[in-house]
Structure formats: structure tokens, C-alpha cells
Structure 1
């Protein structure tokens, strides 16, 4: 007569809460005792609650961001862009050539009021001392002469003849801001390596 096969005894498992090894009573058992089961359930409940709080914060932040006016996003993008321009050009004024000024701005050749479509155009914006930018209204005469020497007459004429209006979207501004932050990081890394 054939002998009936005995079922294999279950393999020991490691408790999901404590490091103890135990022999499970069934295949679904993951903890060694009711005490560990309660503690694991509490731990999972805390994780779930933290995750929900994080999701609620993210949703709140998104709602807050959605009600901010477009001007907020333009200003944030302008800051990132200006930081890149000042890092790119260094401490030299395109209008007067000063290298000893205390503060340098990112001065626009064509102002943002006159040509907002050129607000984030790298050819239109260069490092400029605060005296020329603020007190001399951009010192446009010397700015234009030095700009021609820097980028060439064709590109200056292209800037002066660009009158196509453009309305920025928040998504477009986010992309521009991310691009110039990344360019600034790369520029700073490159400068530190040199």
C-alpha cells in the first residue's frame, strides 16, 4: 500500500515588525504575534496618514499656485533669467564699461515696457551697472554702440525691428525659468572647475 505524503512543514518567516523568525500558521501570516500585528497596523496607519497629509499639502500648494496672477510667474522667471545674465556677463557694464560698481543689474536694451516679447531674449539683456541702468535710463546710446561691438549690427537691427507681441503662459514661464536655472547651475559648476 502506498504511503500518503505528509505535507511539508511551513518554512520559518521573518516577522514584518520585529526581527524574530517564526513558523506561520498559514501562508498569509506575516507577523509573529498579535502584539506585532497591532504595532505593524499602527505603523502602516501612520504612514498612510502622512501620505494623505502630503497629498493634501500638494493639492493645497497647487490651488495656491493656480490663483497667483501671471505677473507673479513673470517676476519669478525674470529673477532666474537675470541671475543667469549677471553670471554670464560678469561684473562689467555694457554701457560705461565700469568694473568697479557695487551693484550690477541685468539691463534690457529694449525695455520690458516697450518690447515685452524680448524680456527673456539673451541678445536684449546684458550686465549693466546700477548707475547706468537706473539713473541714466539705461544709457541707451553707449549701450547700442557696445552691443553692436558685442553681438553685431545684424542682431541689433533684428532686436530693434522685432515688434511682434507675445503673451507668456504660465507653462511657458515655468519652462523658461527651469532652463535658466539649469544653465546657471551648469555655468557656476564650470566656473568652479576652472
Structure 2
């Protein structure tokens, strides 16, 4: 007959004292430590459930937000990238280096061509006056955009009439893409 091995002495998970367990699965030394361990486990489980509930609530809340919310968030990220990309350039329309605020102006407006609102060729750094007060200063914008990206690409922008309705997933991917590009530009500048 084979004798069962006696479990090795262990340290209690609660009071840290050495004890000889009666079963190999025993992790505490006494009933009082078992009660404390049970309370600690219950507290941890309640905390995990609360975290999961908060996460589910955030996701549910995000699902309730309209697509416009996600479009606006994406536009902010793209605009930040454009301002970083064109930091060394003057206003695309008037050529000024001084302004109240630098903006990311669209050649084809977001209202007229919403499918091009995140397209890099369609957006350039613009002074506040040209973008807002002069409604984009389109004539000068076009002339300088041709000098910047070429006549062929400007005509491609002007003739692009393929409607596109962005999904939330596409917008999330665009935000991640442009955040990454912005970080890379900043790192590149700091390294130079």
C-alpha cells in the first residue's frame, strides 16, 4: 500500500505564518484567516465587476453618440496633423505668416464635398482671416494649391464626386492613423 504524501508546510496567504495544510489545496491556516480571505476575494470580485460595468457603460454611452460626434473628433485629429505638417509653410491662400490662429482650411469645403473632408490634398494650413472671414479665399487657395501639389491632383480633387458616408469604425481608424502620423512628425522634428 502506497502512503499518501503529507503536504509541504505553506505560508498562510493572510497572516503569513507557517502551517501544515490538511489538503494540498488549503491556502490559509485557520477559520479566521479563511473568513478574511473570503472577504478579500469578494471585494476583488466586486471591484472587477464594477470595472466591467463602467466599461460597458462607456461603450453603451459611446454607441448612443451620433455619427457627427465621431466625425468632429476625427476632424480635430486630422486638423492637428495638417497644422503640424504645414508648420513651416505660410497661409496657403494669402501667404501670411501672422494670424490670430492657424487653421486647417479645406479647398473643397466640407459641406460641398464631405467625402473629402479628411483627404490630405484637400486640406492645408490657412490663416483665420482667409478661412473664416474670406470663406476660404478659394481663388488664391487654388492657385497656391496647384503650386504645392500640382495641377493634376487639384483637378482630381475638383472632379471627385464619389459620395462616401464614413462609419464609426472608419473614423476610429482614421483618428488612430493621423495621431500616429502627428507623433512621427513631432519625433522627427525633435530628432533633427
Confirm whether residue 27 of structure 1 aligns to residue 12 of structure 2.
Answer: no
Confirm whether residue 59 of structure 1 aligns to residue 56 of structure 2.
Answer: yes
| Structure-2-length-normalised TM-score | 0.93
* Unmatched 5+ stretches in structure 2: none
By how many angstroms is 1:190 displaced? 2.1
Please give the secondary structure, in 2, of the residue aligned with 1:123: helix
Please give the secondary structure, in 1, of the residue aligned with 2:121: coil
By how many angstroms is 1:7 displaced? 4.6
| Mapping for residues 34-53 of structure 1, pairs under 5 Å | 34-53=31-50
| Structure-1-length-normalised TM-score | 0.92
By how many angstroms is 1:69 displaced? 0.9
RMSD: 1.5
Q: For residues 119-169 of structure 1, what are the alpha-carbon distances to aligned partners after superposition, in whole Å with 9 as ceiling and x for unaligned?
A: 000000000000110111111111111111111111111001101111111
2:131 is matched with which residue: 116, 130, 133?
Answer: 133
| Stretches (4+) displaced over 6 A | none
Residue 100 of structure 1 is matched in structure 2 by 98
Confirm whether residue 12 of structure 1 aligns to residue 32 of structure 2.
Answer: no
Question: For the residues of structure 2 that align with 1:45 and 1:21, how far apart are their CA atoms?
Answer: 24
* Unmatched 5+ stretches in structure 1: none
Residue 79 of structure 2 is matched in structure 1 by 82
Moved more, 7-16 or 170-179: 7-16
Confirm whether residue 154 of structure 1 aligns to residue 152 of structure 2.
Answer: yes
Question: For the residues of structure 2 that align with 1:184 and 1:176, how far apart are their CA atoms?
Answer: 12
Confirm whether residue 72 of structure 1 aligns to residue 62 of structure 2.
Answer: no
